[in-house]
Structure 1
Amino acid sequence: MRRRLLSSMLLVAVIAVLLLGVPLGVVVVRLIHDEASQELHSEATRLLIGVEYSISQEQSIDPKQLEKNYPDRYIQVFVQGTAPIAAGTAPPAHRQLTAEARSENGYVRISRDAAQVQQGVRARLVLIVALVLAALGVAVGLAIVTSLRLTLPLQDLARIAERLGSGDARPSRHRYGIPELNRVAEVLDRSAVRIAELLGREREFATDASHQLRTPLTGLNMRLEEIVAAAGEPAIVREEGEAAIVQVERLTAVIDELLAAARRQRHSQAEPIDVDQILDQQVTEWEPSFRRAQRSLKLVGSRGLRALATTGGLSQAISTLLENSLQHGGGTLTITTTSTEKSVVIEVADQGPGIPEELGTRVFERNVSGAGGTGLGLTLARSIVAADGGRLELIKRRPAIFAIFLRHVEDDGRYRVVSGPA
């Protein structure tokens, strides 16, 4: 698309410049020739007047003086009262530009070399060509800038759409200064919010459903055990009670298997990713916001680390931590990457007041917020990291330090269930 836009704009610019440049060149050539002809005619008129005045005063006409007064001209005088006079050097016949002035006493003829006029024409044409090339250069620059302004936002929107498809359901809030593209970005942001809400409700429903099912099943199991224990002699009651216990245990196993399958499905999506690439992208995205808040964003620690995760999930978790620090933290935010024997660790720390005492152990609970927020950000971030087989923990309350523990790439062959928040 960018190439098509660029070629179309360049074609329009070339046509416009040619439509202006070619007529301008033709007009300039005609003006130069007309100016040269008028100049010769004026010189011939002045010369004729001067010759007639000299004859009337009975003064002689000196050809050398005429040649001195009219350099680079070939002069012929045919006036009554004096012999024909010729002054100067006659130009070649094929390059001769001539003008005459006549009266009742005779006429004078002045000629000049047309090569001098052509030299002036060429100089003007060179100037016009230079201006045309400069205009084309400006047009090329404007075309490149305009094509970039139109195509880069489209590429950005395509990346945002791909990110939504990969499960990273957070709005970008990017705007591009073009109403149509801003409209598309707003629609994508609203879709991201709706997707995030749907995913949150889905996770919440699954968690709540599992708890709500497990509790009555546990109670039912206990009562059946009591029935079996109190049945005594009646063999049928005991047999049916034991059968019911088996069915309850089977139903409990089905629920556990469904939850484990959901985790395994998420685990199966985890793949080796470049941690630096995710962090660099997040730093690039959030650095302007921190700069506007007069805060700095720093990335330190080990480089070249790889871990098992999903690109969208890790990006969303890091983004949540950065957004929380921007809203509630202070000072320099430092992202530190290290590798231990068991995990790849990403620490996010700032120099703010930290987590209040009353929220220290509840910061990951649903709907718990100390600053009027929704209380879902850290809950969802922890669930996402846990679904990828990692952990998100608060390792220091003041100042706040969060750490994400990811599996090493070598752990890909081993499955382990990591429970997220209930």
Structure 2
Amino acid sequence: MRRRLISSTLAVVLVVIAVFGLSLVFVETRTIESSARDGVESEAVRLVGIVENRILAGESIDAKGLDRQIAANRYAVVSVPGHPQVTLGDRPKGKVITSTQRGDHGESVTVEQPRSTVSEEIGRNLLVILAVALLAVLAAVGLAVRQAKRLASPLSDLAATAERLGSGDPRPRHRRYGVPELDRIADVLDASAERIGRMLTAERRLASDASHQLRTPLTALSMRLEEIVATDDQETVKEEATIALGQVERLTDVVQRLLTNARDPRTGSAVYFDLDEVIKQQVEEWRPAYQNKKRAIVRSGTPALRAVGTPGAVAQVLATLIENSLMHGSGTVGLRTRVTGNQAVVEVTDEGRGVPPDLGARVFERTVSGRNSTGLGLALARDLAEADGGRLELLQQQPPVFALFLAREMQQPPPREDIVS
């Protein structure tokens, strides 16, 4: 890149020097030659005038006084009828530039100048032109090197940035170079880096969320399959298989919800649903796990509540809270429903130590956990609740009380106002 820039710039400069330099040499040569001829002719005319004045004054025509009227590098011959021929200066050798002028009284003056003086002057001018051309070439090379560095270094840097993006490092560099075109490329690369970073973050988050959110349904499904394997009672097998199929449907719903949230976390599919039915299903699913731990799970509160939300998402939020109580809590776990304003509330509580005081509301932040867990469960549960317009809150730290708030009425879009023109 640099070599090409330098070569192209130098080629352009050389072409310009060749075109204008040769023209300048030709013009200067012609000018110097023309000036020399004009000088010889002018001097001949001047000597003729001097000689004529002497003739009119009756003075003698000789070299005395006339030798001071001619330039040192010229030679003159003065011829006057009836007078001896007068020579001034040294006769030049080789080629000469000559001019002969005649007066009104028959006198003539011939002035000669050696052509070598003209050639020397032309040579001096050529040296000046060559020196200027050499300086121009050196300046062009210096400018080309500087410009090549200014352009090649940013291009190398941009290539390194693109290579870094390709290798999986999406950090934008926010580096600019003072060249609009290169800065535009840098803007595009930085924007691409930010988009790639967001995509990678979303993919990692989806993988992390999927591994966490699918663990609970898969565990429950595994328990049902173990029940089927362990029994020979056809009725029990049929009942457990039916429950397992329901769990598979909920597992499919969880996957769909994860994919939907990965594309747009605000996308929800809220509908009216029977809240008691979802709570009953969760209690039945988790009762065997609690029985294995010699613990109980119960439900209470206001019956026959209907709420607005996505049943699968609400079931997943409750499953997260129930699982947290199973893993980190103790004693009986209670699910209590109540109504506050236009919202239905499901509270999940246990008899354990609760949330550490130093965590508080931070318990819903990702990677925040006080019990050596992943810290994703409650964050995902809050995201699922908010996707359908609900919210998940920690009402009490000790003993822990988590509350899921769901709307009881579908929100109507604002009425459209017709514009009357």
TM-score (norm 1): 0.52
| Distance in 1 (alpha carbons) for counterparts of 2:84 and 2:69 | 20
Worse-superposed segment, 52-61 or 119-128:
52-61
Aligned-pair CA distance for 1:367: 9.6
Distance 1:133 1:366, change over 3 A: farther
Aligned-pair CA distance for 1:19: 0.7
2:195 matches 1:189: no
| Distance in 1 (alpha carbons) for counterparts of 2:3 and 2:211 | 55
**Residue type of the alignment partner of 1:40:** V
Aligned-pair CA distance for 1:114: 2.1
User: Are the counterparts in 2 of residues 77 and 108 from structure 1 also a CA contact under 8 Å?
Assistant: yes
| Distance in 2 (alpha carbons) for counterparts of 1:200 and 1:222 | 33
Distance 1:195 1:367, change over 3 A: farther
User: Aligned residue for 2:97?
Assistant: 97
Deviations 1:16-58 (A, max 9, x none): 1111111101111111111111111111111111111112111
Deviations 1:360-405 (A, max 9, x none): x979x6499xxxxxxxxxxxxxxxxxxxxxxxxxxxxxxxxxxxxx
User: Aligned residue for 1:343?
Assistant: none
2:11 matches 1:11: yes
| Distance in 2 (alpha carbons) for counterparts of 1:128 and 1:39 | 24
| Distance in 2 (alpha carbons) for counterparts of 1:172 and 1:208 | 30
Aligned-pair CA distance for 1:240: 7.1
User: Are the counterparts in 2 of residues 173 and 185 from structure 1 also a CA contact under 8 Å?
Assistant: yes
Q: Could you list the runs of 5+ residues in structure 1 that have no partner in the other structure?
A: 248-357, 369-422
User: Aligned residue for 1:267?
Assistant: none
User: Aligned residue for 1:49?
Assistant: 49
| Distance in 1 (alpha carbons) for counterparts of 2:122 and 2:74 | 19
Deviations 1:80-116 (A, max 9, x none): 3522212221111x23221221123221011122222
User: Are the counterparts in 2 of residues 64 and 87 from structure 1 also a CA contact under 8 Å?
Assistant: no
2:140 matches 1:139: yes
Worse-superposed segment, 214-223 or 160-169:
214-223
User: Aligned residue for 1:169?
Assistant: 170
3-state SS of 2:139 partner: helix
3-state SS of 2:37 partner: helix
3-state SS of 2:16 partner: helix
| Distance in 1 (alpha carbons) for counterparts of 2:89 and 2:14 | 48
Distance 1:214 1:53, change over 3 A: same
Distance 1:44 1:203, change over 3 A: same
| Distance in 2 (alpha carbons) for counterparts of 1:57 and 1:45 | 19
User: Aligned residue for 1:20?
Assistant: 20
Q: Could you list the runs of 5+ residues in structure 2 that have no partner in the other structure?
A: 245-357, 369-421
Deviations 1:320-366 (A, max 9, x none): xxxxxxxxxxxxxxxxxxxxxxxxxxxxxxxxxxxxxx89x979x64
Alignment of 1:18-417 (within 5 A): 18-70=18-70, 71-92=72-93, 94-105=94-105, 106-219=107-220, 236=233, 366=366
Aligned-pair CA distance for 1:235: 5.4
Q: Provide the aligned length of Structure 1 versus Structure 2.
A: 250
3-state SS of 1:63 partner: coil
Aligned-pair CA distance for 1:166: 0.8
Deviations 1:237-289 (A, max 9, x none): 8x979x99xx9xxxxxxxxxxxxxxxxxxxxxxxxxxxxxxxxxxxxxxxxxx
3-state SS of 2:15 partner: helix
| Distance in 2 (alpha carbons) for counterparts of 1:31 and 1:189 | 61
User: Are the counterparts in 2 of residues 67 and 73 from structure 1 also a CA contact under 8 Å?
Assistant: no
Distance 1:97 1:222, change over 3 A: same
3-state SS of 1:100 partner: strand
Worse-superposed segment, 210-219 or 41-50:
210-219
Aligned-pair CA distance for 1:236: 4.9
Distance 1:86 1:224, change over 3 A: closer
3-state SS of 1:99 partner: strand
User: Are the counterparts in 2 of residues 55 and 82 from structure 1 also a CA contact under 8 Å?
Assistant: no
User: Are the counterparts in 2 of residues 100 and 108 from structure 1 also a CA contact under 8 Å?
Assistant: yes
Aligned-pair CA distance for 1:132: 0.9
**Residue type of the alignment partner of 1:58:** G
| Distance in 1 (alpha carbons) for counterparts of 2:203 and 2:133 | 64
3-state SS of 1:90 partner: coil
User: Are the counterparts in 1 of residues 49 and 103 from structure 2 also a CA contact under 8 Å?
Assistant: no
Distance 1:367 1:117, change over 3 A: farther
Distance 1:160 1:366, change over 3 A: farther
C-alpha root-mean-square deviation of aligned residues, in Å?
A: 3.5
User: Are the counterparts in 1 of residues 13 and 137 from structure 2 also a CA contact under 8 Å?
Assistant: yes
Aligned-pair CA distance for 1:224: 7.6
| Distance in 2 (alpha carbons) for counterparts of 1:240 and 1:53 | 149
3-state SS of 2:65 partner: helix
| Distance in 1 (alpha carbons) for counterparts of 2:7 and 2:134 | 17
| Distance in 1 (alpha carbons) for counterparts of 2:171 and 2:90 | 88
Aligned-pair CA distance for 1:221: 5.6
Distance 1:362 1:169, change over 3 A: farther
| Distance in 2 (alpha carbons) for counterparts of 1:14 and 1:52 | 56
Distance 1:114 1:213, change over 3 A: same
| Distance in 1 (alpha carbons) for counterparts of 2:233 and 2:172 | 62
**Residue type of the alignment partner of 1:8:** S
User: Are the counterparts in 1 of residues 100 and 111 from structure 2 also a CA contact under 8 Å?
Assistant: yes
Q: Which runs of 4+ in 1 moved over 6 A?
A: 222-225
| Distance in 1 (alpha carbons) for counterparts of 2:237 and 2:20 | 100
3-state SS of 1:175 partner: coil
**Residue type of the alignment partner of 2:7:** S
Aligned-pair CA distance for 1:192: 1.1
3-state SS of 2:214 partner: helix
| Distance in 2 (alpha carbons) for counterparts of 1:36 and 1:185 | 63
| Distance in 2 (alpha carbons) for counterparts of 1:172 and 1:89 | 81
